[in-house]
Chains A and B, each alone.
Chain A
């Protein structure tokens, strides 16, 4: 049984949800850096270029780290 467990663990492929979060955090880091460098917010294409992925994929990734959508927050935060 231990062996089967290990097999399952070692062959547990990475979930998309996990990899999307990684992309999203990278995108946010790049945004910070570019904002500092250029004193203005980068566009989604600027970030996409640095990560070498489609703009659309960054949008999808960013949604994966969105707080559970709150219908109250946006106005009061």
Chain B
């Protein structure tokens, strides 16, 4: 049955604690006050970018566990992912954390896909505390998907800047004073045959639209404080707005729409269309958005993380960019 894409969690799993860490460039972000750890070194004092990436994940996870008042041994499952080949940074961080671990890859949508999966695990009542989230490190990702850091290739205005940062949280059974996962919609892969790897926002907007449309159709009459996509950037979010306007899904919705990538670096034109990366949505969702929910500033938000499921190999072989978007509805009583 197609409606199984959307699910309402009866047990209302709650995010009991979160932690967010970022690198030096992210200091210019308007979200800075909500970041727990801000490092001055983009390699986090490690030898290589990849080691720094692993260190970032490890430290953020430890902090999230500590803020919840737990020990690493209290964690039943660690669900996370990143964008580097075979997700070694996450794997290595999991080695250090020594918790049961499953790696997940949904590109930049990993921040939400891990949360959705964690919610299902909790719904079964078999587990009690699950650590989830995602991270990215600019240098490591740039080299993975594009060119060496120092190569002078010109980026077009649609280009995006991969965030150095990670956001992780601990999901547990319902607690009335914490935001909980009300429902979720799992994305379908959408491919509109776009091929420009320097314009991923445009490619991902179609997937975001597909998921949002489906989620709203299953939750008619719900009103949200806002809907926020992960990393469509200025380009992709403009396209998503247009898609929503012309389809007439909800005209009310357009005013309440935000994009974490477009807002991440403020109005810095040097960073072109805005931020992207698995760390972009994770840091914003589990940093500022979580904090405002906790303060009951907002009661109900729809978070939609988008991911471009390409690799340098698939791009060079002439394949188009398949995209995915996962949505989670967070509520606060």
Partners in one complex: no
Q: Which residues of A contact B (CB under 8 A)?
A: none
Residues of chain B at the chain A interface (Cβ within 8 Å): none
